[in-house]
Amino acid sequence: MRATMILVTGLAVLVANLVMAAGPYRFENIDGGEHDLSDWAGRPVLVVNTASRCGFTPQYEGLQGLYDRYRDRGLVVLAVPSNDFRQELATEAEVKDFCELTFGLDLPMTTITHVRGDAAHAFYADLKQSSGWEPNWNFNKVLIGADGQVKATWGATARPLSGTITDAIEAELPTN
């Protein structure tokens, strides 16, 4: 148990020291154009790999809730649809319609993107190379702090509006 705790703590420190600002990390925008993480420099960004046909898909509601609660203070929630776990719809148009109609999403969203393996997007490939961490299922979350460093990662079972996630986000936001 103690060895596991030390290993997990060591990984958390390694992940926390990973600087993602080195990019450039550009994602294709589901609406056309691109999302460039450097455009959000100085702001916390929660990057979440998502899927429309997953048991965790209802977390979209919580992700939108986070965005609604904190966007005026600078938080960006970036949804990254992925079919790496074979639970995403076939086209970006289907994903966009599903998310807007079912969950009323207006948070930034990418096109369908690989998040693991040889075809992983550079953001995820660099995260894995630097820390060993990669999404092991849909709705894994990565919080990049306002300083461009990875502050925390969470698996699929961590609910977006949980205290663990909101506390970490609030620590990165300017005080009002």
Which pLDDT value is given to residue 24?
A: 80
| pLDDT at 5 exceeding the cut of 50 | no
Give catalytic residues, as residue numbers. 54
> Position of tokens 């776990």?
85
Count of domains observed in the chain: 1
| pLDDT at 10 exceeding the cut of 80 | no
CATH number for 62: 3.40.30.10
- Mean confidence (pLDDT) of the chain: 89
23 versus 86: the higher-pLDDT residue is 86
- Residue 144 structural domain: 2-172
74, burial (CB in 10 Å: exposed 0-12, middle 13-18, buried 19+): middle
Q: What is the largest CA-CA distance in the chain?
A: 48
| pLDDT at 54 exceeding the cut of 90 | yes
Q: What is d(CA 33, CA 21) in angstroms, rounded to the nearest whole number? A: 20
pLDDT category at 9 given cuts 50, 70, 90 is: very low
Q: What is d(CA 27, CA 63) in angstroms, rounded to the nearest whole number? A: 19
Which pLDDT value is given to residue 131?
A: 87
38 versus 14: the higher-pLDDT residue is 38
DSSP string for residues in 7-36: HHHHHHHHHHT-BGGG---EEEBTTSSEEE
pTM: 0.88
- Output the CA angle 102-107-112, nearest 5 degrees: 75
Q: What is d(CA 131, CA 92) in angstroms, rounded to the nearest whole number? A: 30
Q: Work out the average pLDDT over 116-131.
A: 95
